[in-house]
Amino acid sequence: MSKISQRRILVVDDHHIIRAGLISALSAHGWSDISQATSLRSANELIAKESFDLILTDNYLGDGEGLNLAQPAQRHNPEVKVALFTFEANWALIERARALGFTLFISKESSINTIMTALDDLTQARDGLAIYAPSLPRKSAIITPLTKSEIEVLSLLSQGLTAREIAVIRYNSEATIKSHVAAILRKLGSRNRVEAIQKARELSLISTSQIEY
């Protein structure tokens, strides 16, 4: 029995044709223990009760972002590898994935052979984020990457929360949150929070579905 056949993989995609095609390719490549989910909610339910070696998820699911799967999956199983599989290939999204603990970013434009090779490599012990994206633009166009904490603070700001409210949620001091906000404005080249939130949404740093109150 091959090492691949002994590993458990969860495929998360809300598009039936893409999901079915990927599962077929995985099966042909030797993966035998394959689970699937069609939404963020159903994926989280599986992650909560089962342990996977690899999770391969699209980002734009019907009820949320696949990016939000990495942290709960890693809390349940610190050894799990999480891969983002998406048509959207840009450095802002890649930096979000890196900050959230993803270990692979792969464009859906990649060939089946490239996808299988990337997944084979991912099952080996490695640190950092591996990137397979043929049409990825030059990195010189990207802003200075935001840290994981800055992205989380920015996401909360986009929901209309104040620095004091965010400090309570994150168990930080208000001064720490204000320091994060200052860094966010500087890195995004924004004059105020409204501009920063708008630019962050344009760069896919935070979800466009979040609503300001």
Among 140, 162, 186, the domain-final residue is 140
CATH number at residue 192: 1.10.10.10
The strand ranges marked E within the chain are: 8-12, 33-37, 54-57, 60-61, 64-65, 81-86, 104-107, 130-132
Residues 170 and 132 placed together within one structural domain of the fold? no
* Residue 178: both structure tokens together: 């204000």
Q: Is residue 182 part of a domain?
A: yes
Q: Tell me the pLDDT of the chain (213 aa) as tens digits.
A: 446 657 899 999 999 999 999 999 999 998 889 999 999 999 999 999 999 999 999 999 989 999 999 999 999 999 999 999 998 888 878 888 888 889 999 999 888 988 888 888 776 655 678 888 887 765 544 456 788 889 899 999 999 999 999 999 999 999 999 999 999 988 887 888 888 888 887 777 776 544 333
Whether the Cβ atoms of residue 42 and residue 16 lie closer than 8 Å to each other: no
Residues 171 and 92 placed together within one structural domain of the fold? no
Residues 135 and 113 placed together within one structural domain of the fold? yes
Q: What is the domain count for the chain?
A: 2
The Cα–Cα gap between 97 and 104 comes to 8
Q: Is residue 210 part of a domain?
A: no
| pLDDT of the residue at 167 | 95
Q: Is residue 60 part of a domain?
A: yes
Q: Is residue 153 part of a domain?
A: yes
Residues 36 and 70 placed together within one structural domain of the fold? yes
**Which domain range does residue 28 map to?**
4-140
CB burial of 126-137 (b: ≥16 within 10 Å; e: otherwise) equals eeebebbbeeee
Q: Is residue 196 part of a domain?
A: yes
Q: Is residue 136 part of a domain?
A: yes
Q: Is residue 212 part of a domain?
A: no
Q: Is residue 208 part of a domain?
A: no
